[in-house]
Amino acid sequence: MNNATILAANPYDRPPPVWQRQPLLFAGLAVFILTTVLTVVSYPPFGVSPMAYIFATPAVFWAYRRPPFRLYAAVVLGSQALAWTILLGWLHNVTWIGLILLGPIVGAWVGSWFLAAWWMMPRIPGNSAIVRIIAVLGMAGLWVVMEWSRTWFLGGYPWLTLATSQWERVSILQIAAFTGAGGVSFVLMAMNIGFAAYAHRLGYEGATGLNRRSQEFFAVMFLLLVCLSIHVQETIHRAAYTVPLARVAVVQPNVPQEVKWDPTRAHAILDILEQTTLAAAATRPDLILWPEAVTPLAIRGDESVKAWTESLVHRAGVPLLLGLIAVETTADEELWYNGAFLVEPDTGLRPNYYAKRRLVPFGEFVPFRPVLGWIGKFVPIGGDFQRGELTSPMLVSTKDRHFVVGSLICYEDIFPRLSRDSVRAGADVLVVLTNNGWFGEGGAAHQHASHSVLRAIETRRPVLRAGNAGWSGWIDEFGSIRASLRQVTETGADGQVQETVSIRPGAEGSIYFRGSATMDVTRDARWIGQESFYVRHGDWFVMACAGLFAFGVALVGVGRPVPVAAPAAPETEDGPKEE
């Protein structure tokens, strides 16, 4: 064996592992995988909500190290495009093309925040503590502004803001009554940046002793403690102020989407509604709720449907709030509305109704019809639906009290302003009538319900939800889920297994079923007739966040050169070589 063979066989002459040869590419791959996974699991239905505190930390930490912009942009934008395509995966039940387009668009819009982080984070080290803190908070503020822009950008689609990740952890959410949901997102993103700042300080800034502490991290920890203290102050002695609102029954017809818009199946749908409604009425509620557009027929514009509904409500002896279609005929055309209607046992259909204010593009109307009209609507009835302009609150009278309902249809509860306007118009309770049947039995229903939790806290009003098959239930003024309709399997005293409906929060069972349940809804007397700070002042926090970000940019200096990390000293047999 010659010397060359011996040297080649020497294990110490093997090439270094790939992560040493291509450290940037390895770091990029690690950040891509971590950011994608942590983003997805932070939101419902996966529900690992603590991950929302660190989902952005790997990418922010990498931004501190100033990787090449093209590589960083490809990693963070690609990660968010993939994550949001997964999160919106339920959309394939309606359209694969829509999913393939919408997922990357939302991901790119969210991912644009990380590009700002690439510019900002390397400029933060070396500044005074107060400058570093303001810069970190400014970046959290930019996230809030980015989320707010989603309420109107390209027509608006603020689905799954960061705050929704905490929908089952109300202790951090109470700040939303003052700031809106943006305040919760602000704290969560500040925590993400704070963890990255602490890691960078420990690993790369050369601080020693007590100076290794990260003031940025402790500042954002203080914000988290503020949220928790608000939770204690707002919810203390809550039971002492609880008063009855109404006994409300929810009907879930669970009509498959491929059946709902078939006129030949209308009578079968009406039979389902009759059976479930009379069963709900037997529990002696004060109000019965039907979900959105429960039949393909119009309660205004079709006298036979109107007469049938009024007859059913008269037999039930209970007022009915329902979602259906209205067709208003003018001299020139028919105008279609997706509405909420109140039918009373004695007086029948109320003449005034709520018309949906936020329509679904390509579902209820075709945007830019002269250009995109060839695509058509997914809802196969009528022409383009008309947009409502008014909150149209409805007064509901029970045996011993009255209350005003503010209606929201379909996904309108993802838009904070609509709920806020309804409360300012006098609503005592918000009711969401929706049809999640379009989206199968995946994560859409839970993702949708998470927004109702935030609307309840922002407005300090109970939120009642009625879905075609789920998620239906009741959320109180503090975001606590007080009832959630689920079909559970129970074994009776005779040993027989039977399917029953539970409204107990946390019950194990499916939200997708046909049936009804009745809830005893209460409210907090301290908020009767009172408006929260957010309801009174609106999106003031968004403007404050924009100013905070601008201030942070000014402090770190637009023209200030970015410090470049010194290269590691080459190693010798005796250790690092002295320069």
Q: And the tokens for 331?
A: 């001299």
Query: Can you tell me the mean pLDDT for 110-119?
Result: 97
Distance, in Å, from the CA atom of 445 to the CA atom of 443, rounded to the nearest integer, reads 6
Residue-wise pLDDT for 340-360, tens only, equals 999 999 999 999 999 999 998
Overall average pLDDT of the 469-474 stretch: 92
Rounded-to-integer distance, Cα 377 and Cα 95, Å: 11
- The Cα-based distances of 425 to 92, 334, 402, 406, 433 in angstroms read 37, 29, 16, 8, 19
**Alpha-carbon distances of 480 from 12, 516, 548, rounded to whole Å:** 61, 21, 32
Tally of helices (H runs) and strands (E runs) in the chain: 18, 18
Is the preceding peptide bond at 45 cis, omega within 30 degrees of 0?
yes
CA 265 to chain centre: 34
Asked if residue 570 has pLDDT above 60, the reply is no
pLDDT band at 110 (very low <50, low <70, confident <90, very high): very high
How is residue 234 written in tokens?
A: 């707002």
Query: What confidence score (pLDDT) does residue 367 get?
Result: 66
> CA geometry: angle at 484 spanning 481 and 487, to 5°?
160
Helices (H), 205-338: 215-235, 257-260, 266-281, 303-316
Helices 181-204, 57-64: axis angle to 10 degrees equals 50
pLDDT in tens, 315-324: 999 999 999 9
How many angstroms separate the CA atoms of 579 and 204, rounded?
Answer: 19
Q: How far is it, in rounded angstroms, from Cα 468 to Cα 516?
A: 11
Q: With bands split at pLDDT 50, 70 and 90, how would you rate the model's confidence at 577?
A: very low
pLDDT at 237: 80
- 280-284, 439-443, 566-570: range with highest mean pLDDT: 280-284
Question: What digits encode the pLDDT tens for the residues 516-550?
Answer: 999 999 999 999 999 999 999 999 999 999 999 99
Which pairing describes strands 242-252 and 287-289: parallel, antiparallel, or unpaired?
parallel
Query: How much is the average pLDDT of 188-193?
Result: 98
Q: What is residue 35's predicted lDDT score, i.e. its pLDDT?
A: 98
Is the predicted pLDDT of residue 15 greater than 80, yes or no? no
The whole-number average pLDDT for the span 65-69 is: 94
3-7, 276-280, 558-562 — which one is most confidently predicted on average? 276-280
- Closest to 472 in 3D by CA, of 417, 439, 510, 442: 510
CA dihedral 373, 376, 377, 379 (to 10 degrees): 140
Query: Is 0.75 topped by the overall pTM?
Result: yes
Phi, psi angle pair for 84, to nearest 5°: -75, -25
pLDDT digits (tens, 9 = 90+) for 448-464: 999 999 999 999 999 99
Chain-wide mean pLDDT for the chain? 88
Higher pLDDT, 464 or 203: 464
User: Which pLDDT score is estimated for 296?
Assistant: 74
For the stretch 391-448, pLDDT in tens is 999 999 988 889 999 999 999 999 999 999 999 999 999 999 999 877 888 889 999 9
Average pLDDT, integer, range 100-106: 92
pLDDT at 330 exceeding the cut of 50: yes
Q: With beta carbons less than 8 A apart as the criterion, state whether 465 and 449 touch.
A: yes
Q: What is the pLDDT of residue 370?
A: 57
Q: What is the mean pLDDT of residues 479-488?
A: 94
At 546, the amino acid letter reads A
Q: Which of 465, 447, 419, 446 is nearest to 162 (CA)?
A: 447
For residue range 123-162, list pLDDT tens digits in order: 999 899 999 999 999 999 999 999 999 998 867 899 999 9
Instruction: Check residue 502 and give its pLDDT.
Output: 86
Contact status, residue 272 vs residue 253, Cβ threshold 8 Å: yes
Q: Each residue of 367-379: pLDDT tens digit? A: 655 555 556 656 6
Q: Are 485 and 506 in contact (CB under 8 A)?
A: no
Asked whether the predicted pLDDT for residue 567 surpasses 50, the reply is no
**Structure confidence at residue 7 as a pLDDT band (50, 70, 90):** very low
- Over residues 254-272, the pLDDT tens digits come to 988 777 777 778 888 899 9
Longest dimension (CA), the chain: 106
